[in-house]
Amino acid sequence: MFFDYQPKPMKGEIMAELIKINLTEDEMPRQWYNLNADFDKPMPPPVAADGKPITPDMLAPVFPMNLIEQEMSTERWINIPEEVLGVLKLWRPSPLYRAKRLEKMLGTPARIYYKNEGVSPPGSHKPNTAIAQAYYNKEFGIKKLTTETGAGQWGSALAFSCQLMGLQCKVFMVRISFDQKPFRKMMMNTWGADCVASPSEETNAGREILKNDPDTPGSLGIAISEAIEQAVQNKDTRYALGSVLNHVLLHQTIIGLEAKKQLDKIGVYPDVIIGCAGGGSNFAGIAFPFICDKIAGKTIRIIATEPESCPTLTRAPYAYDSGDVAMMTPLLPMYSLGHTFVPPPIHAGGLRYHGMAPMVSHALREKLIEAAALHQLECYESAVLWARTEGFIPAPETAHAIAQVIREAKMAKEEGKEKILLMNWSGHGLMDLTGYQAYFDGKLKDYALPDELLQRSLASLKGLPKPPGV
């Protein structure tokens, strides 16, 4: 058996009618779940440019060894350290809500449940891993973490976590967001982090780019290169990544493990699970603890949603590709639009990454999950309907999950089926209101990635090794 608790019988109508299903702190999961233990076919390993699997020592200048061990682990269960649990308890267990007002508005027989990850201090699921990463770095003797951030969700989560774990934090924030979205930077400063616009004068990578293009808006790829450069040059500094890697996804499984216990309390099991996917971490967090049931034979649909403008899971090939533009990371087996992909300026900044977590990519290849791409107008329309029924204002990334939930709820109505839908509500949008304003002003347009642009960025995959079977 995968889980150490037994399903309990339904406790009657009252439980099923609850709006909010809570767990006590004692009921919080004590272990993370590692899907790598249960894939029928193992994932291909990350490789170097010569196609040979990388070894732990090759990652040592960038990450502490205790996290590298987690990255490569195939243990099914990994204990959550008490100190990490102690901080997570500030907002965890997060409530599981039933979206009854939305159900009523849609007239659907489906029951919509959502895990509210917007209740963390920075406002998203990101601190679930930021706290764990800060802890393991501290245990390893590291004094400072560097990272990159786009719109600022991840940077603010790491700033918060470093402050609580007693580490210094340096965030390279993509220039255009640094100028246009100052509030996330102010949050990082409030939590004691140093946040600079990227490209900066502080690194070789930044200086080189500024020399050629002083007015560049920056990109996530450049910011990653700057953050890694500073980490590898200082003995007591390491780099932290907010998505994509195995250990990041592992730390997020607390979401799905809690949801499973919460649904169990009211005696239900989901028919459909939905999460938005940028690098794949919040989707993995809700989905992976249920995927193991699917591997064991349960019938369940699990859907990752992404923007039509950045269609990694729905249109990109499965390939070995680098995580950043400067190719400083190992080659990861993943669906990728190509590391030179330049994302269009949609408001869901967290869904603009060129690749997808290797574990999520492998799950799609193994047909354990499905993927759907959505246009931004449908997402904003869904987010506004959500805010006007359920109250909480979602992040634009989260809106991609909501739009799919609404599609599924409408389908359940057409079919006359009382389906159980479970969604990860990955974060609030209170720092993203300019996107809502642009939507209300009619300034947003739908944008499907043109094939010629896709082909251009895919050209950057040429000459790289290929995963087995491709």
Ligand X SMILES: Cc1ncc(COP(=O)(O)O)c(C=O)c1O
Residues making contact with ligand X (CB under 6 A): 124, 153-154, 243, 276-283, 350-351, 395, 397-398, 426-427
d(C-alpha 92, C-alpha 24), whole Å: 9
> CB 151 → ligand X: shortest distance, Å?
7
Nearer to ligand X, 361 or 398 (CB): 398
Quote the least distance from Cβ 401 to ligand X, whole Å. 8
Nearer to ligand X, 10 or 430 (CB): 430
Rounded least distance, CB 244 to ligand X, Å:
7
DSSP secondary structure string, 237-297? Answer: EEE--SSSSHHHHHHHTHHHHHHHHHHHHTT---SEEEEE-SSSHHHHHHHHHHHHHHHTT
CA 45 to centroid of chain Cα atoms? 21
Residue nearest to ligand X (CB): 350
| Structural tokens at position 154 | 């991840």
d(CA 453, CA 295): 37
- Does the bond joining 93 to the residue before it have cis omega, within 30 degrees of 0? yes
Q: How far is the CB of 181 from ligand X (least distance, A)?
A: 12
Q: Which is nearer to ligand X, 63 or 283 (CB)?
A: 283
Cα–Cα distance between 99 and 268 in angstroms, integer?
15
How far apart CA 321 and CA 338 sit, in angstroms, is: 7
**What's the min distance (Å) between Cβ of 50 and ligand X?**
29
Indicate the residue among 276 and 402 with the shorter CB distance to ligand X: 276
> Judged by CB, which is closer to ligand X: 266, or 275?
275
Distance (Å, whole) CA 64 – CA 86: 22
Nearer to ligand X, 172 or 266 (CB): 172
Phi then psi for residue 106, to 5 deg, are -85, -15
Q: Which of 126/175 has CB closer to ligand X? A: 126
Residue type, 437: Q
